[in-house]
A and B are shown apart, each in its own frame.
Chain A
Amino acid sequence: MKTAVSLGRSLFWEVPICALKRTIPVFFSHFPLGLVFGLACTDVGLEWYWAAAMSLLVYGGSIQFMALGVFAYGGTWAELVAMTILLSFRNSIYGLSFLRRFPRNFWRRFYMIWGLVDSTFGILVCERDWGKDDERFCWWVRTLNQVYWVTGTLAGSCLGLFVQIPEGLEFSLTALFVTLTLEQMKSKEGKEAVIVASLASIFACFLWPEQLLGIALGLSVLIFALRGRKS
Protein backbone atom coordinates (compact mmCIF):
# COMPACT_ATOMS: atom_id res chain seq x y z
CA MET A 1 0.00 0.00 0.00
CA LYS A 2 2.29 2.73 -1.19
CA THR A 3 1.18 6.29 -0.91
CA ALA A 4 0.28 7.29 -4.42
CA VAL A 5 1.77 10.43 -5.82
CA SER A 6 -0.82 13.12 -6.18
CA LEU A 7 -1.57 13.48 -9.86
CA GLY A 8 -3.01 16.92 -9.39
CA ARG A 9 -6.51 15.63 -9.91
CA SER A 10 -8.20 17.75 -7.30
CA LEU A 11 -11.15 19.14 -9.19
CA PHE A 12 -14.13 19.19 -6.89
CA TRP A 13 -16.51 17.28 -9.14
CA GLU A 14 -14.07 14.83 -10.65
CA VAL A 15 -14.10 12.52 -7.62
CA PRO A 16 -17.89 12.00 -7.29
CA ILE A 17 -18.33 11.72 -11.06
CA CYS A 18 -15.67 9.03 -11.29
CA ALA A 19 -17.19 7.23 -8.30
CA LEU A 20 -20.58 7.41 -10.00
CA LYS A 21 -19.12 5.96 -13.19
CA ARG A 22 -17.37 3.13 -11.36
CA THR A 23 -20.50 2.19 -9.40
CA ILE A 24 -22.95 2.09 -12.32
CA PRO A 25 -22.70 -1.73 -12.57
CA VAL A 26 -23.36 -1.88 -8.83
CA PHE A 27 -26.49 0.23 -9.31
CA PHE A 28 -27.83 -2.23 -11.87
CA SER A 29 -27.44 -5.10 -9.45
CA HIS A 30 -28.03 -3.50 -6.03
CA PHE A 31 -31.15 -1.63 -7.07
CA PRO A 32 -33.05 -4.65 -8.49
CA LEU A 33 -31.86 -6.87 -5.65
CA GLY A 34 -32.94 -4.25 -3.10
CA LEU A 35 -36.27 -4.18 -4.89
CA VAL A 36 -36.63 -7.94 -4.47
CA PHE A 37 -35.69 -7.61 -0.81
CA GLY A 38 -38.29 -4.87 -0.28
CA LEU A 39 -40.94 -7.00 -1.95
CA ALA A 40 -39.97 -10.02 0.14
CA CYS A 41 -40.31 -7.92 3.30
CA THR A 42 -43.84 -6.91 2.31
CA ASP A 43 -44.63 -10.57 1.65
CA VAL A 44 -43.55 -11.49 5.17
CA GLY A 45 -45.70 -8.66 6.51
CA LEU A 46 -42.98 -6.21 7.49
CA GLU A 47 -43.63 -2.48 7.19
CA TRP A 48 -41.54 -0.52 4.73
CA TYR A 49 -39.57 1.25 7.48
CA TRP A 50 -38.31 -2.05 8.88
CA ALA A 51 -37.13 -3.05 5.42
CA ALA A 52 -35.39 0.30 5.03
CA ALA A 53 -33.88 0.09 8.53
CA MET A 54 -32.40 -3.30 7.69
CA SER A 55 -30.81 -2.10 4.46
CA LEU A 56 -29.54 1.02 6.21
CA LEU A 57 -28.14 -0.62 9.37
CA VAL A 58 -27.30 -4.23 8.57
CA TYR A 59 -26.34 -3.51 4.95
CA GLY A 60 -25.50 -6.99 3.72
CA GLY A 61 -27.58 -8.63 1.03
CA SER A 62 -27.05 -12.28 1.90
CA ILE A 63 -27.49 -11.64 5.65
CA GLN A 64 -30.73 -9.73 5.11
CA PHE A 65 -32.31 -12.39 2.90
CA MET A 66 -31.24 -15.13 5.30
CA ALA A 67 -32.63 -13.23 8.31
CA LEU A 68 -35.91 -12.64 6.53
CA GLY A 69 -36.21 -16.38 5.99
CA VAL A 70 -35.41 -17.16 9.63
CA PHE A 71 -37.87 -14.47 10.74
CA ALA A 72 -40.61 -15.78 8.46
CA TYR A 73 -40.49 -19.41 9.57
CA GLY A 74 -39.70 -18.53 13.18
CA GLY A 75 -36.18 -19.89 13.54
CA THR A 76 -34.10 -19.71 16.69
CA TRP A 77 -31.64 -17.01 17.77
CA ALA A 78 -28.78 -19.50 17.70
CA GLU A 79 -29.54 -20.26 14.06
CA LEU A 80 -29.69 -16.59 13.20
CA VAL A 81 -26.42 -15.72 14.93
CA ALA A 82 -24.54 -18.70 13.49
CA MET A 83 -25.69 -17.99 9.94
CA THR A 84 -24.85 -14.29 10.24
CA ILE A 85 -21.32 -15.03 11.42
CA LEU A 86 -20.87 -17.55 8.62
CA LEU A 87 -22.16 -15.14 5.97
CA SER A 88 -20.10 -12.18 7.14
CA PHE A 89 -16.88 -14.15 7.46
CA ARG A 90 -15.65 -12.86 4.11
CA ASN A 91 -16.15 -9.27 5.26
CA SER A 92 -13.56 -9.72 8.00
CA ILE A 93 -11.00 -10.63 5.35
CA TYR A 94 -11.73 -7.47 3.33
CA GLY A 95 -10.43 -5.20 6.06
CA LEU A 96 -6.90 -6.61 5.69
CA SER A 97 -6.51 -4.65 2.44
CA PHE A 98 -7.51 -1.33 4.03
CA LEU A 99 -5.70 -1.28 7.38
CA ARG A 100 -3.48 1.60 6.28
CA ARG A 101 -5.75 3.16 3.71
CA PHE A 102 -8.93 4.00 5.59
CA PRO A 103 -9.12 7.38 7.38
CA ARG A 104 -7.51 7.79 10.80
CA ASN A 105 -10.44 9.76 12.22
CA PHE A 106 -12.54 7.38 14.32
CA TRP A 107 -15.99 8.14 12.90
CA ARG A 108 -14.87 8.34 9.29
CA ARG A 109 -13.05 5.04 9.71
CA PHE A 110 -16.12 3.56 11.36
CA TYR A 111 -18.32 4.70 8.48
CA MET A 112 -16.02 3.14 5.88
CA ILE A 113 -15.72 -0.14 7.80
CA TRP A 114 -19.50 -0.37 8.09
CA GLY A 115 -19.85 -0.11 4.34
CA LEU A 116 -17.18 -2.66 3.45
CA VAL A 117 -19.34 -4.95 1.33
CA ASP A 118 -18.41 -7.04 -1.74
CA SER A 119 -18.89 -4.38 -4.38
CA THR A 120 -17.27 -1.56 -2.39
CA PHE A 121 -14.29 -3.76 -1.63
CA GLY A 122 -13.92 -4.74 -5.29
CA ILE A 123 -13.99 -1.21 -6.67
CA LEU A 124 -11.77 0.34 -4.00
CA VAL A 125 -9.13 -2.36 -4.05
CA CYS A 126 -8.67 -1.90 -7.82
CA GLU A 127 -8.53 1.89 -7.76
CA ARG A 128 -5.62 3.25 -5.76
CA ASP A 129 -4.31 6.25 -7.64
CA TRP A 130 -6.35 9.14 -6.24
CA GLY A 131 -3.56 10.45 -4.03
CA LYS A 132 -4.80 13.09 -1.63
CA ASP A 133 -8.36 12.72 -2.91
CA ASP A 134 -8.40 9.01 -2.06
CA GLU A 135 -10.42 9.47 1.13
CA ARG A 136 -13.14 11.35 -0.74
CA PHE A 137 -13.20 8.78 -3.53
CA CYS A 138 -13.59 5.93 -1.03
CA TRP A 139 -16.38 7.85 0.74
CA TRP A 140 -18.29 8.38 -2.49
CA VAL A 141 -18.03 4.78 -3.66
CA ARG A 142 -19.07 3.47 -0.27
CA THR A 143 -21.98 5.92 0.02
CA LEU A 144 -23.31 5.50 -3.52
CA ASN A 145 -23.32 1.72 -3.23
CA GLN A 146 -25.47 1.87 -0.12
CA VAL A 147 -27.75 4.53 -1.62
CA TYR A 148 -28.53 2.14 -4.50
CA TRP A 149 -29.29 -0.66 -2.06
CA VAL A 150 -31.50 1.43 0.24
CA THR A 151 -33.43 3.13 -2.57
CA GLY A 152 -34.00 -0.27 -4.16
CA THR A 153 -35.35 -1.57 -0.86
CA LEU A 154 -37.61 1.47 -0.46
CA ALA A 155 -38.87 1.15 -4.02
CA GLY A 156 -39.63 -2.52 -3.47
CA SER A 157 -41.40 -2.12 -0.14
CA CYS A 158 -43.31 1.10 -0.95
CA LEU A 159 -44.07 0.89 -4.64
CA GLY A 160 -44.13 -2.88 -4.83
CA LEU A 161 -45.32 -4.20 -8.13
CA PHE A 162 -45.23 -0.88 -9.99
CA VAL A 163 -41.56 -1.29 -10.77
CA GLN A 164 -40.59 -3.63 -13.57
CA ILE A 165 -36.91 -4.47 -14.05
CA PRO A 166 -35.76 -6.32 -17.17
CA GLU A 167 -34.37 -9.73 -16.34
CA GLY A 168 -30.64 -10.29 -16.50
CA LEU A 169 -29.51 -6.80 -15.46
CA GLU A 170 -28.12 -8.24 -12.24
CA PHE A 171 -25.38 -9.82 -14.35
CA SER A 172 -23.63 -6.43 -14.33
CA LEU A 173 -22.25 -7.23 -10.86
CA THR A 174 -20.86 -10.56 -12.10
CA ALA A 175 -19.35 -8.75 -15.08
CA LEU A 176 -17.84 -6.16 -12.73
CA PHE A 177 -16.12 -8.90 -10.73
CA VAL A 178 -14.97 -10.59 -13.96
CA THR A 179 -13.28 -7.44 -15.24
CA LEU A 180 -11.81 -6.50 -11.85
CA THR A 181 -10.36 -10.02 -11.52
CA LEU A 182 -8.77 -9.66 -14.95
CA GLU A 183 -7.28 -6.30 -13.93
CA GLN A 184 -5.80 -7.90 -10.82
CA MET A 185 -4.39 -10.73 -12.96
CA LYS A 186 -2.03 -8.34 -14.71
CA SER A 187 0.47 -8.95 -11.90
CA LYS A 188 2.26 -12.21 -11.23
CA GLU A 189 0.82 -12.40 -7.70
CA GLY A 190 -2.66 -11.90 -9.10
CA LYS A 191 -2.35 -14.79 -11.56
CA GLU A 192 -0.97 -17.01 -8.82
CA ALA A 193 -3.83 -16.02 -6.50
CA VAL A 194 -6.51 -16.86 -9.08
CA ILE A 195 -4.99 -20.29 -9.65
CA VAL A 196 -4.95 -20.96 -5.90
CA ALA A 197 -8.52 -19.66 -5.52
CA SER A 198 -9.85 -21.79 -8.37
CA LEU A 199 -8.24 -24.92 -6.94
CA ALA A 200 -9.66 -24.02 -3.52
CA SER A 201 -13.14 -23.58 -4.95
CA ILE A 202 -13.01 -26.94 -6.72
CA PHE A 203 -12.00 -28.50 -3.41
CA ALA A 204 -14.78 -26.64 -1.56
CA CYS A 205 -17.24 -27.79 -4.19
CA PHE A 206 -16.71 -31.37 -3.07
CA LEU A 207 -16.39 -30.62 0.63
CA TRP A 208 -19.42 -28.39 1.26
CA PRO A 209 -20.96 -26.87 -1.87
CA GLU A 210 -23.45 -24.69 0.06
CA GLN A 211 -20.59 -22.79 1.68
CA LEU A 212 -18.33 -22.68 -1.37
CA LEU A 213 -17.34 -19.03 -1.01
CA GLY A 214 -16.50 -19.19 2.69
CA ILE A 215 -14.50 -22.39 2.52
CA ALA A 216 -12.62 -21.48 -0.65
CA LEU A 217 -11.76 -18.07 0.78
CA GLY A 218 -10.60 -19.49 4.10
CA LEU A 219 -8.48 -22.05 2.28
CA SER A 220 -6.91 -19.47 -0.04
CA VAL A 221 -6.08 -17.17 2.89
CA LEU A 222 -4.46 -20.08 4.69
CA ILE A 223 -2.38 -21.00 1.64
CA PHE A 224 -1.24 -17.39 1.09
CA ALA A 225 -0.29 -17.03 4.73
CA LEU A 226 1.73 -20.24 4.83
CA ARG A 227 3.18 -20.30 1.35
CA GLY A 228 5.95 -18.02 0.22
CA ARG A 229 7.44 -18.12 3.68
CA LYS A 230 10.61 -19.49 2.14
CA SER A 231 10.80 -16.98 -0.71
Chain B
Amino acid sequence: MSISMMIGVLTAIALFMRALPFTCGDYLAEKAWVHRMAPRLPAAILFLLMVHCVESASFVDHQLDLLRLTQQVTAVVGTILLHLWKRNLSLSIFCGTGLYMLLLQWGGV
Protein backbone atom coordinates (compact mmCIF):
# COMPACT_ATOMS: atom_id res chain seq x y z
CA MET B 1 0.00 0.00 0.00
CA SER B 2 1.70 3.19 -1.11
CA ILE B 3 1.06 6.29 0.94
CA SER B 4 0.07 8.50 -2.01
CA MET B 5 -2.50 5.95 -3.19
CA MET B 6 -3.83 5.67 0.32
CA ILE B 7 -4.24 9.43 0.72
CA GLY B 8 -6.00 9.56 -2.65
CA VAL B 9 -8.49 6.85 -1.70
CA LEU B 10 -9.15 8.32 1.74
CA THR B 11 -9.72 11.79 0.31
CA ALA B 12 -12.11 10.46 -2.30
CA ILE B 13 -14.20 8.50 0.22
CA ALA B 14 -14.24 11.26 2.84
CA LEU B 15 -15.31 13.82 0.22
CA PHE B 16 -17.93 11.52 -1.26
CA MET B 17 -19.48 10.84 2.15
CA ARG B 18 -19.56 14.54 3.06
CA ALA B 19 -21.06 15.48 -0.31
CA LEU B 20 -23.68 12.71 -0.31
CA PRO B 21 -26.67 14.74 0.96
CA PHE B 22 -25.75 17.61 -1.39
CA THR B 23 -25.70 15.48 -4.53
CA CYS B 24 -29.40 14.87 -4.08
CA GLY B 25 -29.92 18.23 -2.40
CA ASP B 26 -32.88 19.51 -4.41
CA TYR B 27 -34.64 16.18 -4.09
CA LEU B 28 -34.01 15.98 -0.35
CA ALA B 29 -34.94 19.60 0.36
CA GLU B 30 -38.51 18.86 -0.72
CA LYS B 31 -38.96 15.75 1.38
CA ALA B 32 -41.19 16.01 4.42
CA TRP B 33 -39.01 13.76 6.54
CA VAL B 34 -36.03 16.03 6.02
CA HIS B 35 -38.06 18.96 7.34
CA ARG B 36 -39.23 16.93 10.33
CA MET B 37 -35.64 16.05 11.05
CA ALA B 38 -34.11 19.49 10.53
CA PRO B 39 -34.95 21.07 13.92
CA ARG B 40 -34.03 17.92 15.87
CA LEU B 41 -30.87 16.80 14.12
CA PRO B 42 -28.33 19.35 15.45
CA ALA B 43 -29.20 18.76 19.11
CA ALA B 44 -28.97 14.98 18.69
CA ILE B 45 -25.66 15.14 16.80
CA LEU B 46 -24.07 17.59 19.26
CA PHE B 47 -25.17 15.46 22.19
CA LEU B 48 -23.77 12.32 20.58
CA LEU B 49 -20.50 14.06 19.76
CA MET B 50 -20.22 14.99 23.43
CA VAL B 51 -20.84 11.37 24.43
CA HIS B 52 -18.27 10.31 21.85
CA CYS B 53 -15.66 12.71 23.24
CA VAL B 54 -16.19 11.48 26.80
CA GLU B 55 -16.17 7.87 25.65
CA SER B 56 -12.96 8.07 23.63
CA ALA B 57 -11.16 10.03 26.36
CA SER B 58 -12.12 7.39 28.94
CA PHE B 59 -10.27 4.66 27.13
CA VAL B 60 -6.57 4.55 27.99
CA ASP B 61 -4.67 1.95 25.93
CA HIS B 62 -7.95 0.37 24.75
CA GLN B 63 -8.97 -0.21 28.37
CA LEU B 64 -11.82 1.57 30.10
CA ASP B 65 -10.28 3.76 32.80
CA LEU B 66 -12.88 4.35 35.53
CA LEU B 67 -10.91 7.17 37.14
CA ARG B 68 -10.67 8.98 33.81
CA LEU B 69 -14.37 8.41 33.14
CA THR B 70 -15.24 9.89 36.53
CA GLN B 71 -13.04 12.93 35.87
CA GLN B 72 -14.64 13.43 32.47
CA VAL B 73 -18.20 13.12 33.78
CA THR B 74 -17.46 15.45 36.71
CA ALA B 75 -16.05 18.08 34.35
CA VAL B 76 -19.03 17.70 32.01
CA VAL B 77 -21.48 18.12 34.90
CA GLY B 78 -19.53 21.16 36.10
CA THR B 79 -19.66 22.70 32.62
CA ILE B 80 -23.42 22.05 32.37
CA LEU B 81 -24.14 23.64 35.76
CA LEU B 82 -22.02 26.70 35.03
CA HIS B 83 -23.59 27.12 31.61
CA LEU B 84 -27.14 26.82 32.95
CA TRP B 85 -26.23 29.44 35.55
CA LYS B 86 -24.34 32.02 33.47
CA ARG B 87 -25.26 31.11 29.86
CA ASN B 88 -21.88 32.28 28.61
CA LEU B 89 -20.28 29.97 26.04
CA SER B 90 -16.66 31.08 26.43
CA LEU B 91 -16.83 31.18 30.22
CA SER B 92 -18.34 27.68 30.46
CA ILE B 93 -15.78 26.19 28.09
CA PHE B 94 -12.85 27.94 29.77
CA CYS B 95 -13.87 26.97 33.32
CA GLY B 96 -14.91 23.44 32.30
CA THR B 97 -11.53 22.80 30.73
CA GLY B 98 -9.77 24.30 33.75
CA LEU B 99 -11.79 22.04 36.05
CA TYR B 100 -10.84 19.00 34.00
CA MET B 101 -7.14 19.90 34.08
CA LEU B 102 -7.35 20.35 37.85
CA LEU B 103 -9.07 16.99 38.23
CA LEU B 104 -6.29 15.36 36.20
CA GLN B 105 -3.72 16.91 38.55
CA TRP B 106 -5.56 15.71 41.68
CA GLY B 107 -6.05 12.28 40.16
CA GLY B 108 -2.30 11.96 39.95
CA VAL B 109 -2.30 11.39 36.22
Contact = CB atoms under 8 A, between A and B. Distances in A.
A125 B106 CA distance: 36
Interface string B87-105: 0011011001100110110
Contacts of B33: 224-226, 229
Contacts of A116: 18
Contacts of A93: 21, 41, 45
A178 B42 contact: no
Contacts of A110: 19
Nearest to A172: B97
- Which residue among A59, A80, A97, A175 has the maximum number of chain B CB atoms within 10 Å of its CB? A175
- Which residue among A168, A185, A196 has the maximum number of chain B CB atoms within 10 Å of its CB? A168
A229 B31 CA distance: 12
A173 B3 CA distance: 30
Contacts of A85: 13, 17
A4 B37 CA distance: 20
B88 to A, nearest CB: 9
Interface residues of B, number: 60
A46 B51 CA distance: 32
A88 B17 contact: yes
Interface residues of A, number: 92
B11 A57 contact: yes
Contacts of B18: 88, 91-92, 94-95, 113-114, 116
Contact of B53 (A96, A169, A173, A191): A173
Given A193-B40, A193-B44, 9 more contacts: A85-B17, A88-B17, A90-B45, A92-B20, A125-B42, A179-B79, A184-B46, A194-B43, A216-B51
Shortest Cβ-Cβ A-B pairs, 5 listed: A95-B21, A168-B101, A184-B43, A175-B96, A190-B43
Interface of B: 1, 3, 6-7, 9-11, 13-15, 17-22, 25, 28-29, 33-34, 36-55, 57, 72, 75-76, 79-80, 83-84, 89-90, 92-93, 96-97, 100-101, 103-104, 109
